[in-house]
């Protein structure tokens, strides 16, 4: 059973729909006792960091998430879920979970690519350049792209956490991974077949980065 | 580098496509879910549903369509038409749509943009703009006027002003439809589109006039559009989305080629 963490951050049903399509049993809940029984945890989310953290504290899910990552349970962060696992987010000046050392920054206002003024949010399909092989990202087609929608991006202190980079004006960290934790800025549940492949891989993954 | 998006638009009335869509074997498909699935397979980057249903019963049918689409395709899609309140938005989003699109209602009730963005985030709120070219005047200095109710009613609102205003109110994206070009299949409006796109910081989807892959290439490059909305050219099966993307790719327009 895959546990989807409900912290009132946007519409969490799209991840559940994708898992149902893949015939992976899942549950959306904010109850730590139910999530404790799950073999894998997905931590999704759309919305703002400040409100997300407030909800996580209220339900004590902040403590439980740290605990599960420590225990070695496979945990996947998506979009806002990825951002709040860092120590700090510039969005609403928010202290976050601190599972990954580093912070979340806003794209600069004057972001350019050549002569073109880039728009914010970074919305649409973009590539991820993977720096190393990871079980969750196996079997993707050559040239696969993923659906992004965000104005803030992860910036880990330790560069060895970064396993995927995406270019938007400058390269930014779009995938972080260590041990049983994998987190991405894009939405696998909205990234067509390559995204579904990532979700399938995650559901089969035992939580070690070299398998 | 972001890819330019190709977005088919499907008109739905009472849960059925208003025009049959010809696919393999020239079969007319009236089911919006089937059509969405077909375009997803062809490499559509996003899908837009426009609900032209008049009755409230029909609206419930649309919610069911949204739910079925969300269960079968895993790319973003938006729904427009008949959305008047935050509750209307909520129903569509909870049924599985990524974004909602508001047009005439936003003109009549601009705070709806702000309220929708506050509750669901700007990325959920697409402002649809129907625009007609007019003689520039005091009220419409850009020479492009906002029209509503399918182009029948002139509002006296300047399109450039309205685009900036909507961005300030929290719209996350603009779908810019040229009423003059719409249905002509002679190409997108290549003056209006860059005028709006270079003056706002949110993505602009060009709509109206697309007839060939070349038209799409033009509006995505010279027109500065972030995405192109297409209808007849794929519905009547003159082109597949795959063919359009292959053309764009060959002509140096970055587009998603693996799906």
pLDDT(B24) > 60: no
Which top CATH class is B5-250? alpha beta
pLDDT in tens, A135-164: 999 999 999 999 999 999 999 999 999 999
Interface probe, candidates A192, A194, A199, A200, chain B, greatest B C-beta count within 10 A: A192
Average pLDDT over residues A110-137: 92
| pLDDT given at position A53 | 93
| pLDDT given at position B30 | 87
Average pLDDT over residues B164-192: 95
| pLDDT given at position B108 | 96
pLDDT(B25) > 60: no
For chain B, give the percent of residues with pLDDT over 70: 96
Question: For chain A, what is the mean pLDDT?
Answer: 94
Whether A189 is a known active-site residue: answer yes
Average pLDDT over residues B6-23: 85
Average pLDDT over residues B35-59: 89
| pLDDT given at position B120 | 86
Catalytic residue among B88, B130, B218, B226: B130
Average pLDDT over residues B231-250: 94
Which top CATH class is A2-204? alpha beta
Whether A150 is a known active-site residue: answer no
CA distance A192 to chain B (A): 5
| pLDDT given at position B196 | 98
pLDDT band (50, 70, 90) for residue B188: very high
Chain B residue with Cα closest to A187: B75
pLDDT in tens, B84-111: 999 999 999 999 999 999 999 999 999 9
Sorted by where each begins, the domain ranges of chain B are 5-250
| pLDDT given at position B18 | 85
Angle subtended at Cα B123 by Cα B149 and Cα A63, rounded to the nearest 5 degrees: 145
pLDDT greater at residue B27 or residue B256 = B256
Q: Do residue A123 and residue B96 have CB atoms under 8 angstroms apart?
A: no
Alpha-carbon distance of B122 to B171, in angstroms, equals 5
Pairing of strands A170-178, A181-184: antiparallel
Q: Do residue B5 and residue A124 have CB atoms under 8 angstroms apart?
A: yes
Residue A41 bridge partners (DSSP): A3, A75
Q: Do residue A124 and residue B2 have CB atoms under 8 angstroms apart?
A: yes
Average pLDDT over residues B161-171: 97
Average pLDDT over residues B204-216: 97
CA distance B121 to chain A (A): 6
Residues of B in contact with A147 (CB under 8 A): 75-76
pLDDT in tens, B245-256: 999 999 999 999
Alpha-carbon distance of B3 to A125, in angstroms, equals 6
String of b and e for B211-246 (b: at least 16 CB within 10 Å)?
bbbebbbbbbeebbbbbbbbbebbbeeebbbeebbb
pLDDT(A210) > 80: no
Integer CA distances (angstroms), B48 to A75, A179, B115, B181, B233, in order: 33, 40, 22, 19, 15
| pLDDT given at position B149 | 86
pLDDT band (50, 70, 90) for residue B21: low
Query: What's this model's pTM, rounded to 2 decimal places?
Result: 0.94
Residue showing tokens 């939580």? A207
Residues of A in contact with B94 (CB under 8 A): 11, 13
pLDDT(B52) > 90: no
pLDDT(A109) > 90: no
Q: Is A193 on the interface with B (CB under 8 A)?
A: yes
Sorted by where each begins, the domain ranges of chain A are 2-204
Q: Do residue B70 and residue A17 have CB atoms under 8 angstroms apart?
A: yes
Q: List, in sequence order, the alpha helices (H) in chain B.
A: 32-42, 56-72, 86-94, 104-108, 111-120, 159-169, 192-197, 213-221, 232-235, 241-250
Instruction: Tell me the helix, strand and coil percentages in chain A, rounded to 5.
Output: 30, 35, 35
Contact A136/A205 with Cβ under 8 angstroms? yes
């Amino acid at each position: 059973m895959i546990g989807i963490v409900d912290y009132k951050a946007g519409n969490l049903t799209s991840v559940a729909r994708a898992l149902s399509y893949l015939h992976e049993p899942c549950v959306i809940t904010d109850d730590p006792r139910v999530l404790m029984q799950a073999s894998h945890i997905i931590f999704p989310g759309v919305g703002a960091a400040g409100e997300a953290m407030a909800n996580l504290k209220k339900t004590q899910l902040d403590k439980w998430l740290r605990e599960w990552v420590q225990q070695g349970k496979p945990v996947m962060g998506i979009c806002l879920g990825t951002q709040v696992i860092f120590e700090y987010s510039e969005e609403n000046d928010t202290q976050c979970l601190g599972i990954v050392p580093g912070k979340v920054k806003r794209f600069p206002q004057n972001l350019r690519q050549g002569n073109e003024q880039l728009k914010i949010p970074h919305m649409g399909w973009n590539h991820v350049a993977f720096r190393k092989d990871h079980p969750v990202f196996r079997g993707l087609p050559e040239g696969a792209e993923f659906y992004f929608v965000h104005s803030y991006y992860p910036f880990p202190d330790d560069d060895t956490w970064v396993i995927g980079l995406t270019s938007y004006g400058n390269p930014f960290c779009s995938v972080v991974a260590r041990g049983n934790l994998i987190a991405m800025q894009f939405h696998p549940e909205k990234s067509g077949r390559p995204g579904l492949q990532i979700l399938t891989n995650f559901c089969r993954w035992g939580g070690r980065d070299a398998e | 580098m972001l890819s330019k998006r190709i977005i088919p638009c499907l008109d739905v009335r009472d849960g059925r496509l208003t025009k049959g869509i010809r696919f393999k074997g020239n079969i007319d498909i009236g089911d919006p879910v089937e059509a969405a699935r077909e375009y997803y397979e062809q490499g559509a980057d996003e899908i837009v549903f426009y609900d032209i249903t008049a009755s409230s019963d029909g609206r419930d049918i649309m919610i069911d369509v949204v739910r079925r689409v969300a269960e079968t395709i895993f790319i973003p899609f938006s729904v427009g038409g008949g959305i008047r309140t935050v509750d209307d938005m909520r129903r569509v989003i909870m049924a599985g749509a990524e974004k909602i699109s508001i047009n005439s209602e936003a003109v009549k009730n601009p705070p709806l943009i702000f309220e929708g963005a506050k509750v669901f985030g700007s990325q959920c709120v697409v402002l649809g703009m129907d625009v007609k070219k007019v003689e520039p005047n005091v009220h419409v200095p850009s020479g492009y006027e906002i029209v509503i109710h399918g182009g029948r009613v002139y509002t006296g609102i300047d399109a450039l002003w309205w685009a900036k205003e909507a961005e300030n109110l929290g719209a996350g994206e603009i779908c810019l439809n040229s009423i003059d070009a719409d249905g002509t299949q002679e190409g997108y409006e290549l003056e209006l589109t860059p005028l709006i796109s270079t003056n706002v910081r949110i993505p602009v989807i060009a709509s109206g006039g697309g007839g060939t892959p070349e038209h799409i290439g033009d509006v995505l490059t010279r027109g500065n559009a972030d995405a192109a909305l297409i209808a007849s050219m794929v519905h009547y099966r003159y082109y597949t989305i795959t063919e359009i993307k292959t053309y764009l790719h060959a002509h140096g327009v970055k587009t998603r080629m693996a799906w």
